[in-house]
Structure formats: structure tokens, C-alpha cells
Chains A and B, each alone.
Chain A
């Protein structure tokens, strides 16, 4: 029962802070609300007993990606209030479109019976030991290839960020 309350609390905070990302005028506030959303999602991972993913999520998102966003806001000096806004009509249309998408998703999934999926004797799979075994046996090749992806991303970012000589 406790986990159900925890689920509702985390979902509530996540949805509110995700909306605040869109509603806040200053980019720096949006970044901070996004960090809050990421932390609540880490709570969701822990609730699902996916401890490895929770830790990786906090390290990657709340650690690395947030620092990148904050430094970009700082370097570009973007913290100016309400600089460029879309017209109210466009915002309204966007909200309608997003709401329609939500309704379509809910409507589709309502007819889909997920209760058969549930497995009563779950689950140790989210622990570091079991995920590590799978990652280093079945998924060894993609895991190694992702290091090449990171290398190329790093080279690309450095190349893009470099100042022109002339």
C-alpha cells in the first residue's frame, strides 16, 4: 500500500515539475524543474526495483546532462525573461494537439489487456549483478560499440565547439 502512495506522490511531483519546465519563463528555472523531474523518475526506478538503472539515471541525467544544460544557459547568457514567445493561438493549438495525442494513447491502451502480462514472482533482474551478467554476455557487442559512439560524440562536440581560426 505504501508503494502505491509513493507512486502517486512521485507521479504527481513529476507531472507538475514537467509542466513547470514548459511554463517557466526563464530557461534556468526550466533546467532546475527538469532536474526535479529526473529525480522523481529515479524514485520510480527504485520503486520498480531497477536499482542499477536508478543509479545510472541519477549519474547520467542529474549529473552529466544537467551540468551540460546549465553551462549552456550560462555561456549563452540566455537568462532573459520572456524573450521570444509563440503567439497564444499557437500555444493553444499545441496544447490541443498534445492533449489529443494523450487521449489517443489512452484510448488505444484501454482496449489492450495488460493484466495478463503481470508476473507474480518478480524480480531480481534490476539488480546490478543480474543486469551485469546479461550486459556482458548477450549484449557485449553493443556495449563495446557504444564506447565508439561516445568517442565520436566527444570528438564531434569538441570540433563543433572549437573557435574558427580566421
Chain B
């Protein structure tokens, strides 16, 4: 276990910040550029995951378990969110026969 600890130190924390920022930006681009509601859901998952990884990295580098507990709870909420979201998607598909989000503009003024 000591060797693992020594090895982790060779990765600077900045690399994790860079990687997670890139992943988060890809998720944002997906939400902005796509019209398929399912792919938008996947992009939201990407963003959640990048935040999770960064929380874990900071938690590991600061030796503080609270960050990893947070990640655990974020995973709990994400699982519930996906279950509800996909059920809503099925309901939307039943009523409009499409999952194009541009079809869902009935609340538009």
C-alpha cells in the first residue's frame, strides 16, 4: 500500500482539474448542441461524473473522507434522477411520439 501512496503523488492535482474541466465542458456542449432528450441526459451524466472525479481527487489529496462520502451521495441522487428522468421521457414519448425537445414548447408564451 505504501508504494501506491508514493505513486499517486507523482500525478499533480492540476492534471485532474484540467481533465475534469474538459469533461465538464464536453457535457455542457452536449446539452447545448443536441436535440435528442436521451443524449442530453447522457451529457448531464458526464457533467455529474466529472464533478465526482474532482471531488474524489481533492478528497484523496487532502486526506479527508468527507469528499468521498459526498461523491457517494451524489451517485445516490444521480441514480434516482436517471430513474425518474427516463420514466418522464417514456411518458413524453407516449404523448408526443417523439423525444425531440423542440416538440416540448407548449409552455412557451
Q: How far is the CB of A21 from chain B (nearest CB, A)?
A: 6
B43, A22: Cβ atoms closer than 8 Å: yes
B15, A161: Cβ atoms closer than 8 Å: no
A27, B8: Cβ atoms closer than 8 Å: no
Please indicate the chain A residues that have their CB under 8 angstroms from the CB of B1 in the complex: 124
Size range of the interface on B?
A: 35 or more
A-contacting residues, B70-108, CB 8 Å: 71-73, 75-84, 86-91, 93, 98-100, 102
* A interface: dominant SS: helix
CA distance A138 to B65 in the complex (A): 11
A-contacting residues, B14-50, CB 8 Å: 14-15, 17-19, 21-30, 32-36, 38-39, 41-43, 45-46, 49
Q: How far is the CB of A141 from chain B (nearest CB, A)?
A: 12
Please indicate the chain A residues that have their CB under 8 angstroms from the CB of B25 in the complex: 98-99, 101-102, 105
* B interface: dominant SS: helix
B59, A125: Cβ atoms closer than 8 Å: yes
CA distance A166 to B99 in the complex (A): 23
CA distance A161 to B49 in the complex (A): 27
B63, A161: Cβ atoms closer than 8 Å: no
With contacts A21-B43, A65-B82 known, what are 8 further pairs, Cβ within 8 A? A49-B4, A57-B75, A72-B86, A94-B32, A114-B13, A118-B61, A125-B59, A157-B84
Please give me the 3 A-B residue pairs with the lowest Cβ-Cβ distance, nearest first.
Answer: A98-B29, A94-B32, A94-B33
21 sample A-B contacts, Cβ–Cβ < 8 Å, listed by A number: A21-B42, A30-B38, A47-B11, A48-B8, A49-B8, A65-B45, A69-B41, A69-B86, A86-B33, A94-B29, A98-B29, A99-B25, A102-B21, A117-B58, A123-B61, A139-B69, A149-B76, A150-B79, A153-B79, A160-B84, A161-B90
